[in-house]
């Protein structure tokens, strides 16, 4: 049974049984605890946590999932993967254990002809939490499982929680016996390779306290509503139903391996080392494409760094298989072809995905070149020092700074007869991970005590009136100070206020929150900020400027009208610039982030190279033409599938309710899902002036602009600047660029002439330096400090010229240049000196520490620098002493 059929049957089974079908959420959710969505229930966490009411009593989804904790282990075994699909069914206070077990058992054991998976009931085992007698009785009642095929397990295995205080509950896992050829008999407690877990049913019924992530915590009590969260691993079920040994041999994954076989002309299954590489390619290709499709771009931090690692591991694995041509786009196309039916965005957005991975592959190939040079220098230093092991810190530097996988460093070292301090490398890697974990822990908010907001949410969601009015009568539902609900607040205090209705926009979708006031007789509150909690509750941070605020009080909330005018211009301007980008650059130039406030907008978009001046001008012109055309702005409320059918653009990482708001500017020209405030006609945006465009990461560009009165002020400032320049240069405005260009050219010519004269002056002093040579055991040693300010390049030229003047006699030249506290130096040796074993690179360690520096190079020429200029005289003495020692010992 093909994977797509497995998914179809799961979805249809639960839809027939009253579940709402919920599409997969993005892999990127606004959750401080998670880098990526790592479980099928993650999008439903607000409902399980009681932060928001569930839109449906029961739901089902096929959720894409990425787990990156074991990246280094992927490929080494056939079990580790980073991307998989989790099929789940969920109940929010509706059915519980009995119905959950019935639904799972029916689907997995019903014959394939009747729409099930047709697993043999006699080969099914289950585990339950150690004291969950109720589940054991239900399995025996519903499935007729004998006692020996129901096994009890402890808290670490069969008590689920989010690893922090909050909801938890016993779980029951379903396993399938694959037969004696896969391992020992005795059930999953004995061998989880033979007994493959395919389904986990979580009975969310309790609240846990603080303690360990998986065990050693206290059960505090029961939840008010008992919930069901189950997950079936789609790829694992595919392995069973397709009769293959592991997920890498299933239909959607094996196709990537087949392409790698074709490119490498090697065969999967013939060699374990090669198999590791094939599996890395297959797994990481799927994960990488899915992450890019959801808006991640390669970078050096957080999600971007994970993606970069994955893509570079693919390239490296392909190289180790003997493939030298670019490969990422080829593997991405296979993923698109195999998974596009389930995830249509892979097809429609492939041009953007392909451009990002091609750029990353090009970057990595350059990195390989640069890193290889760093390795060569390090290897030479090691051999020169008579050692044979690359230090762990150098291997870590190659990994951390240049993106070199450790296996690449090991291979390159072996080729040169060197070993690598792997223990030191692993220790530094462990320290880095520990720092990352500590940083993540410090940033975690977890699911702390939000009971105060849940209490207020139970009173009903805040009604947002700001689309229709700028002032609304309201009632104070709650006042929060320092996380605690209070009855009142007085002048001078800063508190949070929840109203039953408000016209003040809460920060979201890149738009800043509204400025405004909340007033009543004798009461004056300045609104400092407005945020949403659980997408339903508007929380106003206010400063009490006068009077006393009391819970239950009737007030009026007012938006600052000038602020709203500017905010609407900024947000609508963002949509216009986005549409202009897509018109000029093509549909792959998708927004990946934005920020707007009155008079200003910033938009990040997927693009791999800088924009020319002509392209920026064209984008600006298209934007302003849209403003001049006075395009109508229309808001449409529809379902998410309906919005996609309309061609509306959805933003990466955003989650949407069943009913969505589509904002159109000029009909299909600009059509985006958006909850922000907007103008009624595009002419109300006013002029749009682009400020600039820059890179904010690999594959992501940023464009900034002023709109409305801010754009006018910016242009007025530019005009005044031009007029001042024209007055200074005594030319008309139109002639300013030409006159400035002429002045710059004259300056460039003058600088070149100065450089030539300075070089000639330096070379004129070569004879003086040669005359200062001191004889050290028959070697002419020129070791002097040259005039301050000589550049490293000039210092090198000067040293070579002095060496040449020494002719055929043994000679060592060491020149030092001081710039403040910094020191640059160059060491050069004649051929006769090198015959005496005086190598420039080996002389450097004798004096460099004296000036707090380091350096290196070849036997004939070496250079470096230091940070202690006071040590130059001692360094010169140390050099002479080293020449004396070396010649005496030769």
**Pair of tokens at residue 496:** 């949070």
CB 277 within 8 A of CB 319: no
Sheet containing 670-673: give its strands across.
Answer: 633-639, 659-665, 670-673
**Pair of tokens at residue 644:** 């996609």
List 519's β-bridge partners, or say none: 524, 556
Please state, as a whole number, how many other Cβ atoms lie within 10 Å of the Cβ of residue 15. Answer: 12
φ/ψ region of 725 (left if φ > 0, alpha if ψ in -120 to 50, else beta) reads alpha
Q: Residue 724 belongs to what H/E stretch?
A: helix 708-729
Exposed, middle or buried, 845 (CB in 10 Å: 0-12/13-18/19+)? middle
DSSP secondary-structure letter at 832?
A: H
Residue 172 to residue 602: CA distance in whole angstroms: 49
Residue 134 to residue 148: CA distance in whole angstroms: 16
DSSP secondary-structure letter at 71?
A: G
Q: How many CA atoms lie within 13 A of 499 on its CB side?
A: 30
**Pair of tokens at residue 505:** 């926009």
Helix (H, G, I), strand (E, B) or coil at 300: coil
| Residue 599: closest CA among 618, 622, 571 | 571
Looking up tokens 């039916």 gives 341
Looking up tokens 């009208």 gives 561
CB 660 within 8 A of CB 57: no
Q: Which residues of 258-289 are buried (b: 16+ CB within 10 A; e: fewer)?
A: ebbbebbebebeeeeebbbbbbbbbbbbbbbb
Residue 740 to residue 725: CA distance in whole angstroms: 9
- Please calculate the CA angle 303-309-310 and round it to the nearest 5 degrees: 90
CB 662 within 8 A of CB 631: no
CB 247 within 8 A of CB 283: no
Residue 251 to residue 7: CA distance in whole angstroms: 13
> Binding residue per annotation — 571?
yes
Count the helices and strands in the chain (H runs, E runs).
26, 35
- Please calculate the CA angle 412-414-420 and round it to the nearest 5 degrees: 85
Residue 713 to residue 719: CA distance in whole angstroms: 10
| Residue 171: closest CA among 99, 237, 231, 86 | 231
In this structure, the strands spanning 124-129 and 150-153 are parallel
| Residue 572: closest CA among 720, 676, 714 | 676
> Binding residue per annotation — 447?
no
Residue 485 to residue 487: CA distance in whole angstroms: 7
Proportion of the chain in helix, strand, coil states, percent, rounded to 5: 45, 25, 30
> Binding residue per annotation — 540?
no
Q: Under 8 Å CB-to-CB from 47, ≥6 apart: which residues?
A: 53, 54, 92, 227
**Pair of tokens at residue 510:** 């890149």
Which residue blocks in 294-450 are alpha helix, DSSP H?
A: 302-320, 328-339, 345-348, 350-384, 392-402, 406-415, 422-443
Tell me the backbone φ, ψ of residue 708, rounded to 5 degrees. 65, -140
Looking up tokens 């951390």 gives 400
> Binding residue per annotation — 575?
yes
Binding residues: 571, 575, 674, 678
Binding residues for Zn(2+): 571, 575, 674, 678
């Amino acid at each position: 049974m093909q994977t797509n059929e497995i998914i179809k049957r799961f979805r249809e089974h639960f839809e027939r049984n009253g579940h709402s079908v919920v599409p997969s959420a993005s892999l990127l959710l606004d959750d401080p605890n998670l880098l990526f969505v790592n479980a099928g229930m993650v999008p439903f966490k607000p409902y399980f946590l009681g932060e928001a009411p569930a839109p449906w009593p029961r739901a089902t989804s096929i959720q894409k999932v990425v787990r990156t904790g074991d990246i280094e282990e992927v490929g080494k075994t056939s079990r580790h993967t980073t991307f998989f699909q989790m099929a789940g069914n969920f109940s929010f206070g509706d059915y519980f254990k009995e119905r959950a077990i019935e639904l799972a058992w029916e689907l997995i054991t019903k014959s394939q002809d009747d729409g099930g998976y047709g697993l043999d009931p006699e080969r099914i085992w289950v585990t339950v939490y150690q004291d969950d007698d109720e589940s054991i009785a239900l399995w025996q009642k519903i499935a007729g499982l004998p006692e020996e095929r129901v096994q009890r397990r402890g808290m670490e295995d069969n008590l689920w929680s989010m690893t922090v205080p909050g909801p938890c509950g016993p779980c029951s896992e379903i396993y399938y016996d694959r037969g004696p050829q896969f391992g020992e008999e005795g059930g999953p407690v004995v061998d989880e390779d033979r007994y493959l877990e395919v389904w986990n049913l979580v009975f969310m019924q309790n609240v846990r306290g603080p303690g360990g992530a998986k065990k050693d915590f206290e059960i505090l009590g029961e939840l008010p509503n008992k919930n069901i969260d189950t997950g079936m691993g789609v790829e694992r079920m595919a392995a069973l139903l397709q009769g293959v040994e592991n997920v890498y041999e299933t239909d959607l994954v094996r196709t990537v391996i087949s392409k790698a076989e074709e490119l490498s002309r090697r065969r999967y299954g013939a060699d374990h080392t090669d198999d590791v590489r094939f599996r890395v390619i297959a797994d990481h290709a799927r994960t990488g494409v899915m992450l890019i499709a959801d808006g991640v771009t390669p970078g050096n931090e957080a999600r971007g760094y994970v993606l970069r690692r994955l893509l570079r591991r693919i390239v490296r694995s392909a190289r180790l298989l003997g493939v030298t041509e670019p490969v990422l786009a080829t593997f991405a196309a296979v993923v698109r072809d195999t998974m596009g039916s389930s995830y249509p965005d892979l097809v429609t957005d492939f041009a953007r995905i392909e451009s990002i991975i091609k750029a990353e592959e090009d970057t990595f190939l350059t990195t390989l070149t640069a890193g290889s040079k760093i390795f060569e220098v390090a290897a030479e230093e090691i051999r020169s020092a008579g050692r044979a092991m690359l230090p762990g810190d150098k291997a870590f530097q190659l990994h951390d700074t240049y993106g070199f996988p450790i296996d690449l460093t090991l291979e390159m070292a072996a080729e040169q007869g060197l070993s690598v301090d792997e223990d030191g490398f692993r220790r530094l890697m462990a320290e880095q991970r520990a720092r990352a974990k500590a940083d993540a822990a410090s940033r975690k908010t977890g699911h702390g005590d939000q009971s105060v907001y849940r209490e207020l949410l139970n009173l009903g969601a805040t009604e947002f009136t700001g689309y229709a009015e700028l002032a609304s009568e309201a009632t104070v539902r709650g006042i929060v100070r320092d996380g605690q609900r209070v009855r009142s607040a007085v002048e001078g205090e800063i508190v949070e206020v929840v109203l039953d209705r408000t016209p003040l926009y809460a920060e979201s979708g890149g738009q800043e929150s509204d400025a405004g006031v909340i007033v009543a007789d004798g009461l004056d509150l300045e609104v400092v900020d407005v945020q949403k909690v659980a997408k339903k509750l508007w929380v106003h941070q206010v400063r009490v400027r006068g009077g006393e605020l009391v819970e239950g009080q009737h007030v009026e909330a007012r938006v600052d009208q000038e602020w709203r005018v500017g905010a609407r211009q900024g947000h609508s301007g963002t949509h216009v610039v986005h549409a202009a980008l897509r018109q000029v650059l093509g549909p792959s130039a998708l927004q990946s982030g934005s920020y707007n406030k009155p008079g200003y907008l910033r938009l990040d978009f997927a693009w791999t190279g800088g924009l020319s001046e002509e392209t920026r001008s064209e984008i600006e012109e298209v934007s302003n033409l849209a403003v001049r055309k006075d395009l109508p702005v229309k808001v449409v409320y529809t379902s998410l599938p309906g919005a996609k059918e309309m061609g509306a653009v959805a933003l990466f990482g955003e989650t949407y309710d069943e009913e969505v708001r589509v904002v159109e500017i000029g009909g299909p020209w600009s059509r985006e899902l958006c909850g922000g405030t907007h103008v009624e006609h595009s002419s109300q945006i006013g002029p749009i002036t682009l400020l600039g465009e820059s890179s904010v990461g690999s594959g992501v560009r940023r464009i900034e602009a002023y709109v409305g009165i801010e754009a006018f002020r910016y242009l007025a400032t530019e005009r005044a600047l031009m007029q001042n320049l024209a007055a200074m240069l005594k030319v008309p405005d139109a002639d300013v660029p030409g006159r400035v260009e002429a002045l710059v050219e004259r300056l460039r010519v003058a600088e070149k002439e100065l450089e030539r004269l300075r070089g000639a002056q330096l070379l004129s002093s070569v004879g003086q330096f040669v005359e200062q040579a001191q004889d050290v055991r028959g070697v002419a040693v020129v070791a002097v400090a040259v005039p301050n300010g000589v550049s490293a390049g000039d210092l090198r030229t000067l040293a070579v010229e002095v060496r040449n003047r020494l002719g055929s006699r043994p000679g060592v030249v060491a020149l030092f240049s001081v710039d403040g506290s910094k020191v640059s130096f160059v060491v050069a040796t004649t051929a006769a000196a090198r015959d005496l074993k005086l190598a420039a690179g080996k002389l450097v360690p004798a004096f460099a520490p004296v000036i707090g520096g380091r350096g290196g190079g070849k036997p004939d020429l070496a250079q470096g620098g230091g940070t202690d200029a006071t040590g130059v005289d001692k360094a010169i003495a140390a050099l002479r002493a080293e020449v004396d020692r070396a010649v005496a010992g030769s």
